[in-house]
Amino acid sequence: MADRPVSSVPVAPAGLSRRAQWFIETEGVRVCRRDVARHRDVWLGHGIPVAEIDRAAAFQDRWGGLALPPAPFYEGGPRVLAAGCPSGTPTQGWSFRAGDCRVSMAYGFMIGPDGAFGIDADRWTPLHASTDGWVEALALAAHARRWATTVTRVKREAVDSLDLGGFEPVPEVQGVTDTWWRGKDSLIAVYRGEAEGLDAPQCLEAHVYSGLDEWGLYGG
């Protein structure tokens, strides 16, 4: 079966915030979507469980072929979201690639056994509980950068000194290792994935978006 031609204008999947829907449909591009089904027999022959093939196919149906603007960390994230061949064991669980990196990296982007979106570095490190959360975080970063009066980068041990009293977690990003926090007039993104996945505390970083009004804090 051939790759499925699609319109270059993406339609946002259901279940996302209006902010993320707008981000996908105005900033994203849909490229040719590779059909995972054509690999089914080969993957079955390699002992990959049917459930894992179906999981990769479901990811491809929802996200496959979607190219989004670069993320503000992780060297921009995947160039195009696309499911790879599942790998793993019954005891350790199964994962599959979420898309190729934009540049040469010490890790790849993966979908873990429980559906989390993360990086496979020295160890598996989930960043967000789902790909929806990763995309919501991209959309929020683009929105906050557009409306903030100042953006401050905080690095290394100074990240753990940030005062998050009065802040609340942003639920739609489904943060696991990476988190977003909303305060009275600012948003804070904390990126711990590289620090934990590579055992590299020097990679710990946070971005503080200040001077936000109600629209800047929420924006749909």
Q: Is the pLDDT of residue 3 over 80?
A: no
**pLDDT for residue 199 is more than 80:** yes
Compute the distance between CA of residue 207 and CA of residue 210 in angstroms, rounded to an integer.
10
**Per-residue model confidence as pLDDT tens digits over 52-97:** 999 999 999 999 999 999 999 999 999 999 999 999 988 889 999 9
Task: Provide the pLDDT confidence category of residue 1 given band limits of 50, 70 and 90.
Answer: very low
User: How far is 49 from 43, CA to CA, in rounded Å?
Assistant: 8
Taking only the tens place, the pLDDT of each residue in 39-62 is 899 999 999 999 999 999 999 999
Residue 13 exposure: Cα atoms within 13 Å on the Cβ side: 16
Q: What φ, ψ does residue 192 adopt, rounded to 5°?
A: -105, -5
Entry pTM:
0.93
pLDDT-derived band at 6 (thresholds 50, 70, 90) equals low
pLDDT beyond 90 at 8: no
Q: Among 40-44, 110-114, 185-189, whose mean pLDDT is lowest?
A: 40-44
Helix (H, G, I), strand (E, B) or coil at 20: helix
Confidence of residue 171 (pLDDT cuts 50, 70, 90): very high
Name every residue whose Cβ is closer than 8 Å to that of residue 139 and which is 6 or more positions away in sequence: 17, 19, 20, 22, 23, 24
What mean pLDDT do residues 24-31 have? Answer: 94
Per-residue model confidence (pLDDT) at position 32: 81
Distance CA 104, CA 110 (A): 16
